[in-house]
Amino acid sequence: MTEIDFAHQTTIVTGASSGIGAAFATELARRGSDLVIVARRLDRLQTLASELESAHGIRVTPIALDLSAPRAGRTLADEIATRGLSITGLVNNAGFGTDGPFHEEDPERLTDEINVDVTNLVDITRAFIEPLRSAGTGILVNVASLAAYAPSPGMAVYAACKAFVLSFTEALWFESRETGLRVLCLSPGLTRTEFFDGLAGGAYNGNYETPEQVVQTAFRVLDAGGRRPSVLSGRMNSLTAGITRFTSRKRAVILSGVISARAAGREAAKTR
């Protein structure tokens, strides 16, 4: 299998108003795919749509949608159907995280986090998986995180959500192997996006990749034929995740807690 021909394809990108989502939209437009870009901020989507249409001569349809609302996938599918669009690809990039001790977190914010990161990722995927499999020419990319590979004290819900995304996507990779659809779970580490604006602790300490570097990691796997169900972006992130394979779950969660606390500038809880 070779690099995907995106001409005459239409790919949905969620969370496309900035960061990794905008980088995915830009790369897909460069490759010739028409786009449906989804996020809450319509003004940003419209600006990006105009830029991509002008630069690449493709069609971009911006749709404003709150992905924390119930049944977002079915709502999006209905909206796309009314516009007469046929979808051949999907990038589930939308997501956000919360941080701090779980017992101190806002329950409403946690519910929104699970809805965006898990519930509606599944709902959107289910809404489009059949046409994606039937087309057999595009991609299904779900964006997880380095946090998917170990429990993360201080970001307990976020890490659990991303662990779900990793497991879910790898299962879909197996189920879709004979269809021509290339399925991939992409797990970035620290990336220069607006993600940290929503965290109580702000930006973490460490080496950051750009959104463009993360997206290129995904396309290296997809262009090679999609033979891998998942990929971590960044060599150090791959090494960090690999440590969990060689230690007990207790030691993994202790190590994760210490690393997360140091990165966030917090004092790690004592463990024994």
Contact 112, 66 (CB under 8 A): no
Kindly give, in sequence order, each residue whose CB lies less than 8 Å from that of residue 182, ignoring residues fewer than 6 positions away. Answer: 4, 138, 139, 140, 222, 225, 226
Residue closest to 24 by CA, chosen among 137, 149, 138: 138
CA angle, 118 then 242 then 250, to 5°: 75
Q: How far apart are CA 162 and CA 155, in angstroms?
A: 11
Half-sphere CA count of 211, side-chain side, radius 13 A: 19
Q: How far apart are CA 89 and CA 173, in angstroms?
A: 14
Three-state SS at 92: strand
Q: Is residue 50 within a helix (H) or strand (E), and if so which, with residue range?
A: helix 42-56
Neighbours of 133 (CB within 10 A): 18
- Which one of the listed residues 149, 158, 204, 208 is annotated catalytic? 158
| Number of helical (H) and strand (E) elements in the chain, helices listed first | 9, 7
Told to judge if 158 belongs to the known catalytic residues of this protein, a careful annotator would answer: yes
Residues noted as catalytic: 158
